[in-house]
Amino acid sequence: MNAVSPAIVIRLPAWRSRALLIILLGAFVVLLGRAFYLQGLNKTFLQQKGESRYSRVVELSATRGMIMDRNREPLAISTPVESVSVTPSEVEITPEQTQRLATLLELDSRELSRRIAEADGKFAYLKRHLPPEQAARVISLDIPGVFLRREYRRYYPGSEYTAHLIGVTNIDHKGQEALELAFDEHLAGKPGSRRVIIDRRGHIVEDVKSIRTPQQGRDLVLSIDTRIQYLAYRELKNAVVANRAKAGGIVVLDARTGEVLAMANLPSYNPNNREKPEPARMRNRAVTDLFEPGSTLKPFTAAAAIESGLYTPDTVIQTAPGSMTIGGRTIHDAHSEGALTVAQVIQKSSNVGAAKMALALPSQKLWNMFNAVGFGAQPRSEFPGESAGKLRAYKTWRPIEQATMAYGHGISLSLLQLARAYMLFTGNGEIRPVTLIKTDAPPEGAQVISAETALQLRNMLEMVVRPGGTAPRAQVAGYRVAGKTGTAHKLDGATYAANKYVSSFVGFAPASAPQLIVAVMIDEPGAGQYYGGAIAAPVFSSVMAGALRLLGTKPDAPLNNVVLPPPDAPEIREEV
């Protein structure tokens, strides 16, 4: 046995072995402490890490409230749909599954792969708002990390004929247009959430608990009557098409409460189609667009003149020779009539007669009348984007401007403002606010003219629809009707276009106890005719007749009361 050479024997100091032992014991103590801290004092951390493998917090969508008409017929409802979602970190998908999934989602496979690869966080949409049967085929592929999420899509039963009133929501169920936007907070509700357990493929296998209960949106009951709304849209569309017009609008008001029973416009759009239409088709022209109303303003001039005490319905005004010059500008009548009473000025729609009445009044008196009925101020219907119109301060009026305002030039307003203003004559001189929401009681109004003056104007407006007036085609069988035509040249830049018109008619019935006001506007008729009595009055007649019968209104005239002028009788025209 060979002895080990003393030269190669290594002797280690005793302190080194002790130091190593102390280090190992210290590390062990640290590990024990860390384990005690995580499992005893701060066990939430490990629980969260573990739960993240199988637990998820799922958002619960709140159902948006319904929009209904006054009879609780649905105008906007939410239907459940499924959206295909993905958890990027858990996706396990083969090329074959990618192709099949892309086909079901109507996507290119490369686009699908890109969406999955670029998805951030724990959640991303692959395709939203799928029909239930299509969503079922997606989930049958059994791809880990791909799952369905319940959402809601808005559906509009009225389609085109209620589109401008109701509006639309976006893909996230937020109101974007019209009443959907105006009452978004009321309708939307608040989403909730719940904790669930999922398997490795992302499927929910158990509900654990509700974290936050969703608050469902509240319903909204409108003043609209769907039956009258459809009738108004149909008749307006027929007139716009027949007269090759650029656009049109109609408003139907309850003359007693100020509730809007119908409001329609053309051109329209289908809100159920997710492809966004041209902005021009989405405008609610009856509320947002302004136009010069023409002769439909003459009754307000006559009311101001009678209230001043300077005129009565029988006061004679000389309109011959059918024109008058003011400050180098000449006002014309469409036909010369000679001496007319105030009532006949309204019946024949004399521009000269209206201008003479206006010029006999202080400008402030006429301005006060226009202002009191709401011209130049928003109607406060709660519809988004409603226009106030343009009514300049009376101190800036020149005589020619005061004269032309008497027959609706130099002032602009919306169709809703015009319809509301006629409540002055139906409400015994009192005017009320308008509303798109169903009311239990009529709101308080403001007295603008005396009840006697209002009745006198009602009688004058009845003369307009009889033979000898400008609107015999506005008559309705079985009912007394009153109203006024308008035929206004359109502004084209700084001047009035020679061959572009806005044809209008505003009226009410039954004249003995007014229940409905109907205002019709046809923009740029292009089929030859353009007078309000020929273009807009027949629409009024059809809508008023149908609406009164739908509401069961008792007739106040014989069924044979409609008397049209003979075919060879000269047409009573107006043009401003």
Do residues 61 and 191 lie in contact, with contact meaning Cβ atoms separated by under 8 Å? Answer: yes
Of 78, 83, 223, 295, catalytic: 295
Measured on CA atoms in the order 202, 206, 210, 215, is the torsion positive or negative? positive
Question: How far is the C-alpha of 471 from the C-alpha of 568, rounded, in Å?
Answer: 16
Q: Which residues are CB-contacts of 107 (< 8 A; sequence separation ≥ 6)?
A: 115, 126, 127
Is 5 an annotated catalytic residue? no
- Written as six digits, the tokens of 533 are 């009595």
DSSP string, 173-220: S-B-SHHHHHTHHHHH-B-EEEEEEE-TTS-EEEEEEEEE--BPPPPE
Secondary structure letter of residue 427 according to DSSP: T
Maximum alpha-carbon separation in the chain: 155
Q: Determine the distance from the C-alpha atom of residue 50 to the mean position of all C-alpha atoms in its chain, rounded to a whole number.
A: 51
Each residue of 205-216: b (16+ CB within 10 Å) or e?
Answer: eeeeeeeeebee
Counting beta carbons within 10 angstroms of the beta carbon of residue 321, is it exposed (0 to 12), middle (13 to 18) or buried (19 or more)? exposed
Cross-strand pairs, 496: 491
- Written as six digits, the tokens of 453 are 């003056």
Helix (H, G, I), strand (E, B) or coil at 435: strand
Question: How far is the C-alpha of 525 from the C-alpha of 502, rounded, in Å?
Answer: 8
DSSP string, 207-241: EEEEEE--BPPPPEEBS--HHHHHHHHHHHHHHHH
Helices 298-307, 363-372: axis angle to 10 degrees equals 120
Do residues 67 and 75 lie in contact, with contact meaning Cβ atoms separated by under 8 Å? Answer: yes
- Written as six digits, the tokens of 218 are 């509240």
Q: Residue count of the chain, please give it.
A: 576
Measured on CA atoms in the order 542, 543, 544, 548, is the torsion positive or negative? positive
Helix (H, G, I), strand (E, B) or coil at 496: strand
Q: Quick check: bond before 321 cis, omega within 30?
A: yes
Counting beta carbons within 10 angstroms of the beta carbon of residue 430, is it exposed (0 to 12), middle (13 to 18) or buried (19 or more)? middle
- Written as six digits, the tokens of 429 are 């001189």
Question: How far is the C-alpha of 427 from the C-alpha of 516, rounded, in Å?
Answer: 11
Helix (H, G, I), strand (E, B) or coil at 307: helix
Q: Which residues are CB-contacts of 10 (< 8 A; sequence separation ≥ 6)?
A: none
Please report, for the chain, how many H helices and E strands are present, in that order: 21, 19
- Written as six digits, the tokens of 293 are 């109303």
Catalytic residue numbers read 295
